[in-house]
Homo-oligomer: A and B are copies of this chain.
Amino acid sequence: MTQSKPLDSCDDRLLPADPTTRSIAHDLYDLVRNAPIISPHGHVPVEWFAENRHFANPTELFITPDHYVTRLLHAQGVPLSALGVNQKHFTDAQAREAFLLLGHYWPAYAGTPMRYWFEDSLRNVFGITEAFNEESAGRIYDQLNEMLQTDEYGTRSLVKRFNIGFISTTDDPADDLAVNDRVRADKDFPARLAPAFRPDRYLEPAREDWPDLVRKLGDAAGVDATSYAGYVEAMRRRRVFFKEHGAVLSDHSHMDVRSDRLSDYEANRLFKQGMDRTISAADATRLRRHLFSDQVRLAQEDGLVLTVHPAVHRSYDPQGLANYGMDIGADIPAKCDFAVDLKPILNAYGNNPDFHFVAFTMDDTTFTRELAPLAGYYPAMYVGAPWWFLDQPVQITRYLGDVVPICGFTKLSGFIDDTRALCSIPARHDMNRRLTSSYVAGLVATHQIDFETGAQIVKDSVDAQPKRVFKL
């Protein structure tokens, strides 16, 4: 395999090849390249913010926890165990071996955003300019390993360096948010931090552990949650608790976004069956939709922004689930019909401009047909940034072309990194800034808008827009 050249430092990265458009894109990008990062939804553990945690080694930082990276190695036939996934004991030698495997299979990442983000991180976070490949992987591992032992590359130092203005964790409704509170109170923490309310498990009566979860929720709320009415009250309290502790949103990810309501009688009956473990699979789904409907209703009162990430075949591979657990990259997008599914929510609350509802999707056929038309009519509705598999140059560009002509820039969520891969945060936001600048440059180059209008759009996209959508 030919070795690649030193990592590309060219500032033209991701900007359109046409010289006229590239020049406009550069001028636009320059307006936002150094703007603080606003990250309203992500999965970095709050503990990383609480202390200047040192990563054990580069594999723990770049490979093991990042299912974007591990799934592609798995697709090459590498067992996830060799990457440290779900391994109780994973030695330094094994970690180094995993990094060499990444080097070996690096050509398989060409053309993917994982490669782009990793190389961006190496250069811009760690100052490594040598090309990453099979031959250099060991050297680079050792270099990184040394740096990671220094305070300069601890988690908190990195957060400071990344110029993060706002960042949200994702939290269990029963969490006491003590660590979040501590970080929020810490004047030395540079960013505004917020928890996020993520009650998915508590809304799935099909789960074996659902009664335990319900009791846990009730304990946290100081209320008996084992009746339907008690459960709703517990949810109400916990949402308010989160809001009081800085949360701006509640986030929901189920197989669909239906919210058909049951009658009170039916809701009570199915809730009881859920607690008794006598509920059928079909009824568990019906109850889940009803409970989700309650979340939307509660959002009208407490004002939390409501975000949805629906329609994923989670843990598609049962063998992988059994051996390695969830979040290993074996989640596959599912078809979705937002126009049909969201009707109850939008009919009830879509005209409430104080309610903010942001829908994300991995079914890219829904942007033009459903999400943008809905956001182009309902004040409450916003189109989420491209999610997961779509979080990359081709799809971000296509997304802008899909939705902007229909609902304009003001009905977009702004960029969401949605990641637990700490070092990819600046790389992802920078990618999006380059692509947004490029898209807007195209509008300017074809004389659909003037440069000043484009400049305002690009500036808003990283500042006013996400602040407005997420009520920051």
Asked if residues B368 and A395 are in contact (CB atoms below 8 Å), the reply is: yes
Asked if residues B449 and A111 are in contact (CB atoms below 8 Å), the reply is: yes
Q: Contacting A77 at CB < 8 Å: which of B375, B379, B404?
A: B379
Query: CB within 8 Å of B: which of A308-364?
Result: 313, 316-320, 329-330, 332-335, 337, 339-340, 343, 346-347, 350-351, 353, 362-364
Tell me the smallest distance from the CB of A56 to a CB of chain B, in Å. Answer: 26
Q: Contacting A75 at CB < 8 Å: which of B16, B407, B440?
A: B407
Residues of B within 8 Å of A456, CB to CB, are 1-2, 107
* Residues 428-472 of chain A, each 1 if its beta carbon lies under 8 Å from chain B, else 0: 000000000000101101111111111111000000000000000
Query: CB within 8 Å of B: which of A106-132?
Result: 107-113, 115-116, 131
Give the oligomeric copy count.
3
Q: Does A101 contact B (CB under 8 A)?
A: no
Q: Does A136 contact B (CB under 8 A)?
A: no
Please report the C-alpha to C-alpha distance between residue A451 and residue B110 in the assembled complex, in whole angstroms.
11
Q: Contacting A2 at CB < 8 Å: which of B15, B72, B113, B453?
A: B453
Asked if residues A17 and B14 are in contact (CB atoms below 8 Å), the reply is: no
Q: Does A18 contact B (CB under 8 A)?
A: yes
Asked if residues A364 and B369 are in contact (CB atoms below 8 Å), the reply is: yes
8 new A-B contacts, CB < 8 A, other than A108-B410, A115-B449, are: A8-B447, A14-B448, A17-B445, A77-B353, A110-B443, A111-B449, A373-B389, A395-B405
3 closest A-B pairs by CB: A77-B353, A394-B401, A13-B447
List 9 A–B pairs whose Cβ atoms lie within 8 Å, in order of A's numbering.
A2-B455, A5-B450, A13-B446, A17-B445, A71-B377, A72-B407, A75-B379, A107-B457, A111-B457
Which residues from chain A sit less than 8 Å from chain B, CB to CB?
1-5, 8, 10, 12-21, 71-72, 74-77, 107-113, 115-116, 131, 313, 316-320, 329-330, 332-335, 337, 339-340, 343, 346-347, 350-351, 353, 362-365, 368-370, 372-379, 381, 389-390, 392-395, 398, 401-402, 404-411, 440, 442-443, 445-457
